[in-house]
Structure 1
């Protein structure tokens, strides 16, 4: 049986696991703490596929008809 890669599906936006330094830069840019970010569960298939751990920050890049792409950030929770 072939394993299905979630990231390869056309409806799943790109998920990028940020380094701790990149995560801190994002928090500084927005002037917020990590708990203020929207959340994503560790059990989310895309988070699991990229090897995210609780406390990591994921950058999500979605296609947009008006802006070409939109960037969102999520804090990984249990």
Structure 2
């Protein structure tokens, strides 16, 4: 008789943790509009490493632009953009 394997409880997604602000990968068209709006090149955006746990959870690749929406006491919501880069 085989013993039933105990299934390990599924780990909650890092994206659902209350301290992690909302992150999303921008589609290429939307990313281009953001770059044009702020008149910047991708390399001028702040970086986020491809090894970052949230980037891994999103499945983002180097070159993708991530939108981060944080709660702000003064502005309500604050939007940030980061470009995914490989570690050097």
TM range (shorter): over 0.9
Q: What is aligned with 1:76?
A: 84
2:16 is equivalent to residue 31 of structure 1: no
TM score, norm. by length of structure 2: 0.85
* Runs of 4+ in structure 1 over 3 Å off: none
Deviations 1:47-78 (A, max 9, x none): 11111000000000001111111000000001
**Aligned equivalents of 1:9, 1:3: Cα separation in 2:** 11
For 1:12, the equivalent position in structure 2 comes to 20
Between Structure 1 and Structure 2, whose CA radius of gyration is higher? 2
Q: Give ranges in structure 1 of 5+ residues lacking alignment.
A: none
**CA-atom RMSD in angstroms:** 0.7
Higher RCO structure, 1 or 2 (CA under 8 Å, sep 6+): 1
List gaps (5 residues or longer) in structure 2.
1-7
